[in-house]
Amino acid sequence: MIHAVESIGAIQAFVQAADKRSFKLAGQTVGLTPSAVGKAIQKLEDQLGVRLFHRSTRSITITDEGLLFLDRCRRILAEVEAAQAEFAVAGAAPRGCLKISLPVEPTLLLPVVADFSEAYPDIELDLDINDRFVDIIEEGFDAVIRSGAPKDSRLLHRKLGTFVWRFVASPDYVARHGAPTGTSDLAAHRCLRHRYPETGRLMQWPVEPALEGAAVPVTITANMMAPLLELAERGRGIAFLPHFAVHRMIETGALVEVLPDESRDVGSLNLLWPASRYPLPKVRVFVDFIATRLARELVGQPPAGSA
């Protein structure tokens, strides 16, 4: 039987080793030597009667049994952290590590996150920046920012605002190829298309039904927004991107909007975090800070609700 008080440090070491796939990196996080991490995990294995990692001289690989135990350990640590927060002194400064997932969109999100870090220097930020779907609970995220409506009942969410999508190209591209004056003109243009990372399917442009069966050309595809923005700026074609990602470049002249009358699609940006009766102070202040700032930048209105 595992003695919980004696094993919480070992559980933390095990989770870090599983996440970082290294006893050395895990030890740096929890303040132990690689040898101490290995011994703690060995003790866990002896107590459980299973092997948690396959070890070699160069690497470690988590076993199937280890994956099952990892899920339980994440929940245990989350409960411990929640209990600490529940009994923390009211008004104590938020602190600890905050694991956040952001889409790859540098112009809107990263400046706001940087300001949050300056406002709360005792909170360590662990940023996972990508456009893939993440399982917030299973992967241990404290909060994520994503477009689209939330569907997981285990999560709380706050709508940060809405945005429209724009067709954009560089002035150089328009000078060389001309600007489309109607949706049918797209058939003769170079088009930069987004491919959903989860399914591999192309994002449909809202003008496609109007092309009467003709498909929008595919010149370059990418499963993240940032490369499409870069390629559009470099004159490689027309891209269909959220207004918040392109408006500054339109203002500076690096991009121009084409087919402005066709930019009717509206999306929403949402902040999601695991539901909890006692939200951790670090999560609460992040939700309030990000929601207030992004709501103002997206739609110019104060957000509703709170963590």
Query: Residue 146: pLDDT band by 50, 70, 90 thresholds?
Result: confident
Taking the C-alpha atoms of residue 268 and residue 161, their distance in angstroms, rounded to an integer, is 6
* 206-211 mean pLDDT: 62
Note the pLDDT of residue 289.
93
Dihedral Cα 151, 99, 307, 287, nearest 10 deg: -100
Q: What percent of the chain has pLDDT over 70?
A: 85
Inter-residue contact 104 to 116 (CB < 8 Å): no
Note the pLDDT of residue 18.
92
Beta-bridge mates of residue 273: 156
Which of residues 92 and 173 earns the better pLDDT score? 173
Taking the C-alpha atoms of residue 191 and residue 220, their distance in angstroms, rounded to an integer, is 7
pTM attached to this predicted model: 0.58
Query: Residue 293: pLDDT band by 50, 70, 90 thresholds?
Result: confident
* 147-163 mean pLDDT: 80
Per residue in 80-131, pLDDT (tens digit) is 877 776 665 445 678 889 999 988 765 678 888 999 999 999 999 999 888 7
* 176-181 mean pLDDT: 92
Taking the C-alpha atoms of residue 266 and residue 184, their distance in angstroms, rounded to an integer, is 22
Note the pLDDT of residue 14.
93
Cα 15–chain centre separation: 20
Query: Residue 300: pLDDT band by 50, 70, 90 thresholds?
Result: very low
Which of residues 199 and 253 earns the better pLDDT score? 253
* 253-278 mean pLDDT: 83
- Sketch out the chain's domains with CATH numbers: 4-86 (1.10.10.10), 91-307 (3.40.190.290)
Query: Residue 262: pLDDT band by 50, 70, 90 thresholds?
Result: confident
Secondary structure letter of residue 185 according to DSSP: G
